[in-house]
Structure 1
């Protein structure tokens, strides 16, 4: 039995995603840009607008680029600055993750980010899933004062990671919130909740719609993407969020 109240967090891209998630009954949102890269820090303009329209708490990802979680000194400085700016705005929480080259939690940097963030809540994102020893990583995050960790059990999906998720929750023993993720939907989320006993669950429910653009240049794809991607928009699916939340709560 979890020592923490059960919560469901929806990972969204931008302000429209936040509105869709809260409309569908989410408890909290992780606010990102560029989910195609796993989520990057959104602009301050997006955050300000989110604060204006939000009816539920949201946490902002602090990730200056895609790729690994081994950051340069300049990248790390931008992370600290972003956290301080978000704290000044009154954001509820931030989502971070820094590793050392040998696959451990970078405790010095994590502690510095937690200190910069307080009194905001701090989540460690799936950088945790890239660590060499998840048991050691949990203890490191607890030492750093992190409030929760997002994990798929070091596998692509939560279903594949069920055994490690269950062990992670047992090791945490209420000292840090364990939030499961990884291809969760209405068909899988209940099974994962019952099998692991995690404290919280996190998912994205995305669908793609066609662009409203009438004129289309057939010769250009921005950023090296396929041309058809220029005329697609990815949105949070309100109905899919509702179905998945209902399935998770029914599994209590």
Structure 2
């Protein structure tokens, strides 16, 4: 019997973790700077989210941009892996590519080794570096032998709904791997992603927080083109609940085939 499909919500705060937990998420992916695609959160933030009682898989990504990392960056991220696990993470989300677009197996092995050094069971997910790789299907097939348990992917497309066929191919190529569909996922997309072979679904369920600043607004860095845009994302509990209902099959017709 196949396991129940899992719902993962990307969050950036303890409040987001509570919203996810209370509305049906099975786990959260915790990061900072969601608007930049996510960066490694602080140890204090990991500790706070771990106390919320929902499994927290923590993104380890030391900078925005591409996934071709220097040796110094890999050393830093290995230290971050150890730090977030010590702070209570139940999993880590990692990845690195070579300049040719292949999985950087040496770098990934080092990050996996850092995760295993904790001495307790830790889930290890390859993040969406897979979607910028030269061959997402071949990359997915490599992961079980490297000790990874999951891959987060849009199937190499701008959104998971558009990459549905590749997601199906990835699931077929790596039967021991949990293929988690993520990237622009809306609750309405979930039934078709599950029928394609995804065994988990990831979405941010985000909405812009209302600015609560006093005084006048001035731009700080790349914060936004206006006071309304210069804010941060928060988790929308209604979207989480809608996603949970979609995971349970409400309104879903029979799966094709």
Structure 1 contact 221–230 (Cα < 8 Å) conserved: no
1:149 aligns to what?
151
Structure 1 contact 84–116 (Cα < 8 Å) conserved: yes
Deviation at 1:143, TM superposition (A): 2.0
1:247 aligns to what?
246
Deviation at 1:227, TM superposition (A): 3.6
Structure 2 contact 57–92 (Cα < 8 Å) conserved: yes
Deviation at 1:244, TM superposition (A): 1.4
CA deviation vs aligned residue, 1:65-107 (integer Å, no higher than 9, x gap): 0000111122111101111112223320100011011001111
TM-score w.r.t. structure 1 length? 0.92
Where does structure 1 differ by over 4 angstroms across 4 or more consecutive aligned residues?
none
Q: Whole-Å Cα distance in 2 between the matches of residues 223 and 168 of structure 1?
A: 39
1:135 aligns to what?
137
Deviation at 1:232, TM superposition (A): 2.8
Q: What is the root-mean-square deviation of aligned Cα atoms in Å?
A: 1.7
Uncovered stretches (5+) of structure 1, i.e. residues with no partner? none
Uncovered stretches (5+) of structure 2, i.e. residues with no partner? none
Task: Tell me if 1:158 matches 2:157.
Answer: no
1:112 aligns to what?
110
Helix, strand or coil at the partner of 1:150: strand
Deviates more, 1:54-63 or 1:85-94: 85-94
Q: Whole-Å Cα distance in 2 between the matches of residues 135 and 214 of structure 1?
A: 50
Q: Whole-Å Cα distance in 1 between the matches of residues 229 and 193 of structure 2?
A: 36
Structure 1 contact 153–163 (Cα < 8 Å) conserved: yes
CA deviation vs aligned residue, 1:185-206 (integer Å, no higher than 9, x gap): 2222112212x12111111111
Structure 2 contact 93–126 (Cα < 8 Å) conserved: yes
CA deviation vs aligned residue, 1:160-189 (integer Å, no higher than 9, x gap): 11110111111112x111101122222221
Task: Report the count of equivalent residues.
Answer: 246
Deviation at 1:229, TM superposition (A): 5.1
Counterpart mapping for 1:47-58 below 5 A: 47-52=46-51, 54-58=52-56
